[in-house]
Structure 1
Amino acid sequence: MKPTGFVVKKNGVMLQDLNGLIYSSIKGSINKQGEKYIDAIVILYNRSNLLPIAVSKPDIKGRYQFLNLYADLKTFIVAFDQKQQYNAVIQDNVVPK
């Protein structure tokens, strides 16, 4: 599955309304064979309903972040290689800090 047709912003685009107290974030980086990698789309999903919460693109140092999240939100992250040289990478059980 290849995501298409959405706008990507540096801090991430919120796709789901998370009503309530919001004060945490998720930060990480993308690497390809030990080197920072910027040609990816990173999508944060809600584990409870499997819907996307936000979309981000790594900065020039391969870092991404999702801001303004519930501290107890259960998520997983999927990173897609835009050059389609590698399969998607999944990180499960990610909790904002």
Structure 2
Amino acid sequence: MKKSVKFSPEVRERAVRMVEESRADHPSQWSAIESIAAKIGCTPQTLLTWVRQHERDTGQREGPTTSELARLKELEREVKELRKANEIL
């Protein structure tokens, strides 16, 4: 099994910025992503995920933003804790 590598938020932001900046030099967004992914050592699919989330966060794409996803996760955790408390009672 392959161990997943954690990239810092700074590395993710820089990689997404590099894709945006080099987009004009490539025939498609995907080819820009493949080029940048090879340079930073992640898979193109991973970088695509970061780019898509950035697009949602900046209103360029439909879907939940990072803060909305974090809030949802927090609420799900809270519901789980409350269900456990209710079982005890």
Higher RCO structure (Cα 8 Å, ≥6 apart): 1
- Name the one with the larger strand percent: 1
Which TM-score band applies after superposition, normalised by the shorter structure?
under 0.3
When the two structures are superposed, what TM-score results if normalisation uses the length of structure 2? 0.23
When the two structures are superposed, what TM-score results if normalisation uses the length of structure 1? 0.22
Larger radius of gyration: 2
- Name the one with the larger helix percent: 2
